[in-house]
């Protein structure tokens, strides 16, 4: 049985224009000890998905449907109090995007770690909890005496390490790491990722690693879920997502990140903007930016299809893998993409299903 089993989860935010469907029908399972990466552009719903698991979200967020089974416990049925007592920190913890915001500025970092340890583990004395906090600091490369500092006295990198210490203090079975290194400079990023991986291996926890950076997930994750417009549009083992993706969005993301083994690679970005999550409409949410969109894509929402064991893709054209992969590597394919307005395209019929796209892109050249 999986450690975590999310089924058809819908988490929406109340906003002026209606509900923002930030997580809109997501299913995902995670095994013990496994690391799953969530990749996708800013605003695609990665953080909302992670925060839904431990209900660490703002007051205007609401779970509208679906289930989250954690090791036999239905988390969505737990009261906030039960969730805090039984699950948060000791079973599932989170390393937030910006650790500085995760700490309370009025207490020392040590006091906060001691409090978390003592709150969850009965009978631990203050002195013992302090010793544990010092040991954790030491292991994470922070001078142990600094547990008596306030958060504002820490550099960004140190605060991030301290947050990792807090997130791992109780040996949780699942760690949610939300862009744990993006707020840091590049030199420190690698070291922090290393530290997280080492500690994760030591306590044998599973992890959800959120990032918009394909190179980070390819190095750290067993599986990768590609998130777009509040949905997982493709999921597979990390190697398959990197070397053999089927969804045009994944192909586009891959183009936008440097491949360290290819010095001559030209980076190609995906034109257009993410969908409106208040009113995403019918059809594939990527259609307005997809160079391969056909009539069906605009009108019928694609269901996930399994192409190889464990490789699920939500795309009407995912079986045309050879064509998609070769055309997606051409810059002209993306330059010519519709990036259209859904209504104009569906009503006005600018979608061309004759296959003319294919001829045009095959003639294109990467250095156009």
Residues near ligand ATP (CB under 6 A) are: 13, 15, 20, 22, 40, 42-48, 58, 60, 212, 277
Exposure of 139 in the CB half-sphere (CA atoms within 13 A): 19
Nearest distance from C-beta of residue 334 to ligand ATP, angstroms? 21
Taking the least distance from each CB to ligand ATP, the nearer of 46 and 342 is 46
Instruction: Specify the residue, 92 or 183, whose C-beta has the smaller distance to ligand ATP.
Output: 183
Smallest separation (angstroms) from ligand ATP to the CB of 50? 8
Sign of CA pseudo-dihedral 97, 116, 195, 48: negative
Smallest separation (angstroms) from ligand ATP to the CB of 46: 4
- Report, in Å, the least distance between residue 67 CB and ligand ATP: 19
Cβ 247 to ligand ATP, closest distance in Å? 16
How far apart are CB 162 and ligand ATP at their closest, in Å? 21
């Amino acid at each position: 049985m999986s450690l975590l089993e999310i089924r058809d989860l819908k988490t929406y935010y109340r906003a002026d224009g209606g509900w923002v469907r930030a997580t809109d029908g997501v299913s995902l399972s995670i095994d013990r000890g496994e690391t799953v990466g969530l990749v996708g552009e800013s605003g695609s719903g990665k953080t909302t998905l992670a925060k839904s698991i431990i209900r660490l979200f703002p007051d205007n967020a609401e779970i509208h449907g679906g289930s989250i089974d954690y090791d036999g416990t239905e988390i969505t049925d737990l009261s906030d109090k039960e969730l805090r007592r039984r699950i948060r920190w000791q079973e599932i913890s989170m390393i937030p995007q910006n650790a500085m915001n995760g700490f309370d500025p009025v207490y020392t970092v040590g006091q906060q770690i001691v409090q978390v340890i003592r709150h969850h583990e009965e009978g631990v004395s203050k002195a013992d909890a302090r010793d544990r906090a010092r040991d954790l600091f030491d292991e994470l490369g922070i001078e142990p005496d600094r547990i008596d500092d306030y958060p504002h006295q820490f550099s960004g990198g140190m605060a991030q390490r301290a947050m990792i210490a807090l997130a791992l203090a109780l040996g949780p079975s699942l760690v949610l790491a939300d862009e744990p290194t993006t707020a840091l400079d590049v030199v420190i990023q690698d070291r922090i990722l290393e530290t997280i991986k080492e500690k994760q291996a030591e306590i044998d926890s599973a992890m959800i690693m959120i990032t918009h950076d394909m190179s980070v997930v390819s190095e750290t994750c067993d599986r990768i879920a590609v998130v777009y417009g509040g949905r997982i549009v493709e999921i597979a083992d990390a190697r398959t997502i990197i070397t053999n993706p089927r969804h045009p969005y994944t192909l586009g993301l891959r183009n936008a990140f440097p491949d360290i083994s290819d010095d001559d690679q030209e980076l190609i970005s995906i034109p257009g903007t993410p969908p409106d999550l208040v009113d995403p409409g019918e059809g594939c949410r990527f259609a307005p930016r997809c160079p391969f969109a056909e009539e069906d894509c605009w009108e019928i929402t694609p269901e996930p299809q399994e192409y190889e064991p464990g490789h699920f893709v939500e795309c009407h054209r995912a079986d045309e893998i050879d064509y998609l992969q070769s055309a997606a590597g051409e810059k002209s394919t993306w330059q010519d993409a519709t990036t259209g307005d859904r209504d104009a395209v569906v009503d006005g019929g600018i979608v061309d299903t004759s296959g003319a796209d294919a001829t045009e892109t095959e003639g294109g050249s990467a250095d156009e």
